[in-house]
A = this chain, B = another copy of it.
């Protein structure tokens, strides 16, 4: 194996591993002598230096890790932060609304209303600071429940949850018989998978019932 290829392999392994990776492991995976790993990494670092690369390889005990150069920290920070001004996706907006009007609710509740798994969407909203955990529901499984945050109020120009714009026909929604409310799930996107829907729906109804009790 040529040295160029060895360097490529070591670089790829370091990139993919993310975390610090032990010297012997690099040696094993890339099929190079343990003794030659440090010199290969030295070559890579020299190359990075020469071209003013944004990345470098750091040694930590007997491990190595690929990371960015400190001097680029401001750019990286800006790049990662620009994400916060990315508009909410449809899915996120729907999920946020469901939480806002029914809070506090579990992921299961959101999923039942939306008809699809919404776990990652909820996590995303938590990351953005729009919703937060509000304890656990006292039912088997103890699901975490979520509520909206002050950031949410600010983002939508509201001074409190009571200011939420009324929903058309919302008398059905905010009244206590939420069991009713959820029953619209029977009409999930594709009626064709109704066998499944029936089950989920029953669960939803139960959820809601329990929800009511705990309220």
Q: Is the CB of B51 within 8 A of A190?
A: no
Chain A interface (Cβ < 8 Å from any Cβ of B): 4-5, 7-17, 21, 25-26, 28-31, 47, 51-55, 66, 68-69, 71-72, 75-76, 78-80, 82-83, 89-91, 106-108, 111, 114-117, 119, 123, 126, 133-136, 140-144, 187-193, 196
Q: How many protomers of this protein does the assembly include?
A: 2
- Complex interface: chain B residues within 8 A of A140 (CB): 187
- Complex interface: chain B residues within 8 A of A83 (CB): 25
The SS class assigned to the A binding surface is helix
- Complex interface: chain B residues within 8 A of A187 (CB): 140-141
Of B17, B31, B68, B135, the contact of A16 (CB 8 Å cutoff): B68
In the assembled complex, the CB of A198 is this many whole angstroms from the nearest CB of chain B, namely: 14
Of B26, B72, B78, B193, the contact of A119 (CB 8 Å cutoff): B193
Q: Is the CB of B51 within 8 A of A4?
A: yes
- Given A9-B72, A52-B8, A136-B90, A141 and B16 contact (CB-CB distance below 8 Å): no
In the assembled complex, the CB of A37 is this many whole angstroms from the nearest CB of chain B, namely: 12
- Complex interface: chain B residues within 8 A of A11 (CB): 53-55
Going nearest first, the 6 A-B pairs with the smallest beta carbon separation are A12-B54, A143-B189, A11-B54, A29-B79, A12-B72, A29-B78
